[in-house]
Amino acid sequence: MAKILVTAENFAFGPVSKLVTVAEELIKRGHELTFIGEGTAYQLGSKVRFKKIYRFDTDSKEFIEWGEKIFKKADVVLTSGDRSSVILCQKLNIPIIWLDILFWWWDEIPKFLWNVDLYIQQNSLNNKRNSLKYKNKIKNMKMVGPIIDLGYKNSRVKKQLLLGFGGMEAKGWYKIGKDSTYPYTIAKLIMKMVDVGKYEKVLFVGNERITNDLSKKFGNKKFVFKMLPHKEFLKEMAESEDVLIIPGLETPLEAFAYEKPILFLPPSNSSHYVELDEFRKLHLANKINSLHFADYYPYRNLAGGNLRKIMEIFLKELKKFENSPEILEDCAKRINRYLNLTQKTKNKQKLYQRKFMSKLGKNGLKETINLIESFIEKNKLAAN
């Protein structure tokens, strides 16, 4: 079995949740895994039974010098979006596997990623632009279907409303309390303006630091705020009667795979804005089951733009939204309308979800594991 070092970009929960899904399966197969991460990546990664866990910022100036000894002990490195790990591996000539869950999103893919030893692209939203741009540049690229743990597919549903906030912040991009009050704004909206009488529990899930603070401020027996290990989050989602989530990418893919009708909360970062655009184009979302800033403000075409510039544009609009009592009240009314739809009406979403998921291919988790193990075997990286 191989000694695999794993890392994830410190950007909300998307990159690390996908890494965790793959890592847990590799651990089951008997491989020895070591994890390095910080921030939101550490929050989820530290809940997995890795052989060793290091809390360290891979974007820090000290990382290259600090990481050399640890990286040299690995047979191979697997990273979900952490570019610093790639740079260090290339310096040390260590095999590197790049897991890309956002191939469709990037405005630019730097040259040093074109020659990674194995580039695994998760199929999701329309990737035509970058496929045309990079198909002859990126070597060793393989595409897989959505990478999802389906272990809780047959769970029994209980009277619970789940609100998935995701990782809520990303170092160097946006921070709750500085750039946004999103989770506090939405939590207050749900608690004060939405009728949740039919549920025994309303579970808010997301960033550990923020859910701990929300729990202290607002938590009680009915309204519960917590950060969950990824497997536990999937279990709670599968068991929930209704699911309200941010329009990210990874959690919606999981919800679609679990055949859960969902309401998309307003976007909390620029990628969510674009993803909600895409979901509406694909009929996975509409004005009944999604809350878009474009319903209240002039539409902004953010797709394909410079990532820094579009985040700046988005955060200004988010601040307006968070400070607009009339718009927040209307959002609450729309959430109430959705929650009071019949289950039969909500279940109509499943038809579009199934059609969308079938086009992406089979569950990519098994294929991803096979690609990684074939790479290890072919390059004779595992210990005898």
3-state secondary structure (DSSP) of residue 105? coil
The rounded distance, in Å, linking the Cα atoms of 46 and 144 is 26
Architecture of the CATH domain 3-147+363-378? 3-Layer(aba) Sandwich (3.40)
The rounded distance, in Å, linking the Cα atoms of 211 and 24 is 25
pLDDT of residue 250: 92
Max CA-CA distance within the chain?
66
The rounded distance, in Å, linking the Cα atoms of 380 and 382 is 6
Residues of the chain with CATH 3.40.50.2000: 3-147+363-378
CA atoms within 13 A on the CB side of 256: 29
pLDDT above 60 for 384: no
pLDDT digits (tens, 9 = 90+) for 305-337: 899 999 999 999 999 999 999 999 999 999 999
pLDDT digits (tens, 9 = 90+) for 262-294: 999 999 999 999 999 999 999 999 999 999 999
Amino acid identity, residue 270?
S
The rounded distance, in Å, linking the Cα atoms of 31 and 50 is 10
pLDDT of residue 383: 66
pLDDT digits (tens, 9 = 90+) for 77-126: 999 999 999 999 999 999 999 999 999 888 899 999 999 999 999 999 88
Fold observed for domain 158-359: Rossmann fold (3.40.50)
pLDDT of residue 127: 84
Cβ atoms of residues 199 and 278 within 8 Å:
no
pLDDT of residue 2: 94
Give the confidence band of 24 by pLDDT, cuts at 50, 70, 90: very high
299 strand-pairing partners: none
The rounded distance, in Å, linking the Cα atoms of 96 and 6 is 10
pLDDT above 60 for 169: yes
**166 membership: H or E segment, kind and range:** strand 158-166
